[in-house]
Amino acid sequence: MANSYNNIILHLVFAVKNRESLIAPKYFPEFHKYIAGCFINRGHDIIEIGGTSNHIHILFRYNPKELLSDLIRDVKSSSSRFVYEKRYSPFMFNWQRGYGCFSVDCGLYDKLIQYIRNQQDHHRQYHVREEMRRLLHRCGLEYNEHYILKMYRADIAPLTRGMGVWDDLTRTNDPLTRAR
């Protein structure tokens, strides 16, 4: 065959360090647009992007000319810097090490798009750790429970003093934070 063809659809999930809810929902559209741009600028096609204040889901068509680990490392680094520069969080923002990345059957990605779009509703019922367990189990992957979206420390130091906390989301009102 003279040409090469591929249609590699991947579902990528990664979480904020310590699973803290650090991005206010009012910033989601611009934040997701920025992350989508990171993928598009590197030759990948975004199908859907969404998440909550403490993790993100990205459904994309992967361009195999780039190593997946390099792509994810660079997107995490760049988007962390973006959050800092835009002051989207009054706390130090970093992504957790590691990620979940799953291949997707082309015939099923319409259902997955809806799942990603409904993350806010979904997480009123399920914690992000439970979601990751289900994804790993569904894909038949073995995992160490200790490392599923690991909690490294209980406290978060403010980025700067006097910056204030976002209007529509505070750590004390976040059900995921209270559940700990």
Give pLDDT tens digits for 140-175.
Answer: 656 556 555 443 333 333 333 333 333 333 333 333
Are 165 and 174 in contact, with CB atoms under 8 Å apart? no
| Full DSSP string of 1-42 | --S----EEEEEEEEBGGG---S-GGGHHHHHHHHHHHHHTT
Work out the pLDDT band at 133, boundaries 50, 70, 90.
Answer: low
For the chain, the first-to-last Cα distance in angstroms comes to: 55
Quick one: which H or E segment has residue 102?
A: strand 100-103
Over 90: is that where the pLDDT of 61 sits? yes
Residue with tokens 């989601």: 28
> Which pTM was predicted?
0.69
Cβ neighbours for 23, distance < 8 A, ≥ 6 positions apart: 16, 31, 53, 54, 83, 88, 89, 93
pLDDT of residue 171: 36
**What is the number of alpha carbons within 13 Å of residue 77 lying toward its C-beta?**
6
Give all domains of the chain, ordered by start, each with its CATH number. Answer: 8-178 (3.30.70.1290)
pLDDT tens per residue, range 92-120: 899 998 888 888 887 888 888 988 888 76
